[in-house]
Amino acid sequence: MNFVRRRFRFYLPLLMLVITALAGATYTPVHVTQAQGGGALGYGSNAYGTLSAEMPLAVYSFNGSAGDLVHIYASNWTGSLEPQIDLLTPSQQLLASTSDHPFAVQAQDAELSVFLPETGAYTLSVSGANGTTGEFVLQLMGRAAVPSTPLAFGQALPVTIPQDAGAQYFTFEAEDCPTTLVIQNDAPGQPFTFPFVAKVRNEKGTEIAQLRGGDALEDWVTVAPLSGQYEVEVLADDPTLTGSITLLVTCSGDVPGCPADGTGVLIPGAPVGGCPRCPGEPVTPDPVVCADFRVSIDANDDGLVTFSWPLVEGAEGAIWQLSHEDGAHAERLVEGVTSDTVNLRDLADSGAFRLVVHAWSAADGYICTAEVTIELEGPPTEPEPDPDPDGPGQVVPFACSIRLESPREGMANGLQTFFWSPVEGATGYRLRIYNEGSALVAEGTVAAPATSMTLDVSTAAIGHGFTFTVAIEALRSGEHWCVDAVTQMREHREDGGGEPQPGCYFLNVVVDPPNMGSIAISPSPNCGNGYNPGTVITATASGKLQSWSGCGVSGSANPITFTLNSSCTLTGHF
């Protein structure tokens, strides 16, 4: 019997329908770093941190290579914290930023996926949106660049998925039409066909769709015209199973129709309609069972909509379909829940949306159906500045953006003046400096319109250290509004005041988290307060050491020996 249920059909630039932690493809095993305010991370790290009014920013660093796919997930643990993730390139340029995503496990969670553009040390900061505070869990996953097979437009490609095999990767370019990736699946499996998983990512690395096989002969995703290159990751949902699928990239108007009887062959240009219903799918809902089936809506002005529906006896889940008046469309299958959340502005900035929810089971298909119309007004426009900023009609802008102007590539070992860009509507600014262990070592606050501040950042004032993070915050009514953070080196002192002499290297040692252990270094400094180039260093940890990072070392050997060929920071993770 031929049957087709098309799921996850959408036409949109950026709507993420199913978001999961990235899997497969040589990920580093997970280890735990319990840094309270930041520190060094590696792929596979889990970090636990706390944001408070006194420390509203946690700054981390990790090394990455060009082409790596990095997935960052920040989850609220306690408090009202709404995590905000900012990722900076090795040259301290903002690469990506996000505050939340519509399908997170918790509404406050934030997620970011991106392909790294260059090799080097990246800076990752976590802050609280809208001044929120609390504890969070941060996960960093990474995958090196992988070889992929290009999908030729209009040419179907058979793909075999062997047993216990890793993921296979493919790429396609969006043409000058709404471009559709079709996955035909006529291999046997449970409940009906082979249970594959296909993850689709845009050229930035964001996962925009996840298609799952098992209950349909075809699945597809449609992306906007000329929207760039997309990566398709294909693997079996159960690695013990084997099966085959066919991939086809074409214009949405040429999407194949139902497979011909008994052939299972894709038919380009065949009409989309007329596919037979799935086995047992009723023509009309049961009027008794569905008498109270309604959709309830909770929407805000930002376009974020949470909708819910009653539990239906016999239903295994629900399929919701969201369509905009201009034709943009999204669908999603959910199981085990009776509510979901979506950001309408991922489909369109304004207009009328039609939301249809079907209670569903594999045996009976659509059991009940309900729909509702949602009207969304356009996003607020930036107001014109008030000609009299001190008058009663003062206008506060909707967005906040601040930049530390200087220094950005190195600061003095002594008095240093910091400059930043003005923020319209800000009532003050707060400058904070953190050492490599993410401890706050200096702080100052000034009222607007001042855009500079001088602090003593000498060794005597803020302690030993090679690298520091400078964070400038814009304040509104005394509360955190937005922040820019730059990690930079501090110059060496030539008078022996706690820093190595010229030609010597400085070794900074960090215990992470503080007070969980100790590290002994041998030999003692042999070049002023530093070390001669090429000195062999032995580090011995006391406590439950988990791993080392920095200074070119890794692993958990204890003691560990390395050669000092540059100034660096050695961190022991306990």
Same domain, 475 and 453: yes
Rounded-to-integer distance, Cα 517 and Cα 402, Å: 38
Q: E strands of 327-462, at which residues?
A: 329-335, 339-343, 351-361, 365-376, 404-406, 415-420, 428-434, 440-447, 452-456
The per-residue pLDDT string of the chain (574 residues; one tens digit each, 9 = 90 and over) reads 333 333 333 333 333 333 223 333 333 333 333 334 567 888 887 788 888 888 888 888 899 899 999 989 888 887 888 888 889 898 888 888 874 444 444 556 788 889 999 999 998 888 888 888 888 888 888 888 889 999 999 999 999 999 888 889 999 999 988 888 888 877 777 667 788 888 888 888 887 777 877 766 777 788 888 888 999 999 888 888 888 999 999 987 776 654 444 333 343 333 333 343 333 334 455 666 688 888 888 877 767 788 889 988 888 888 888 877 766 667 777 777 788 887 777 677 788 888 888 887 766 667 888 888 888 886 555 444 444 444 444 444 446 788 888 888 778 888 888 999 998 888 899 998 887 666 778 888 888 888 888 888 887 788 777 778 888 988 888 788 888 888 877 776 544 444 445 567 777 777 776 556 778 888 877 876 678 888 999 988 888 888 888 888 888 899 999 998 877 778 888 7
pLDDT, position 273: 36
Same domain, 113 and 164: no
For residue 263, is it within any domain?
Answer: no
pTM (predicted TM-score) = 0.48
Contact residues for 156 (Cβ-Cβ < 8 A; gap 6+): 184, 246, 247, 248, 266
Same domain, 421 and 330: no
Query: Which residue segment(s) compose the domain that 127 sits in?
Result: 31-143
For residue 10, is it within any domain?
Answer: no
Rounded-to-integer distance, Cα 350 and Cα 302, Å: 10
For residue 268, is it within any domain?
Answer: no
Nearest residue to 6 via CA among 233, 275, 237, 249 = 275
Same domain, 433 and 478: yes
Rounded-to-integer distance, Cα 206 and Cα 221, Å: 15
pLDDT, position 234: 92
Rounded-to-integer distance, Cα 522 and Cα 561, Å: 10
pLDDT, position 195: 86
pLDDT, position 173: 93
Same domain, 51 and 155: no
Q: What is the CATH number of the domain that holds 139?
A: 2.60.120.380
Count of the separate structural domains present in the chain: 5
pLDDT, position 406: 86
For residue 448, is it within any domain?
Answer: yes
For residue 321, is it within any domain?
Answer: yes
For residue 217, is it within any domain?
Answer: yes
Contact indicator for 27, 240 with CB cutoff of 8 Å: no
Element (H, E) at 457: none
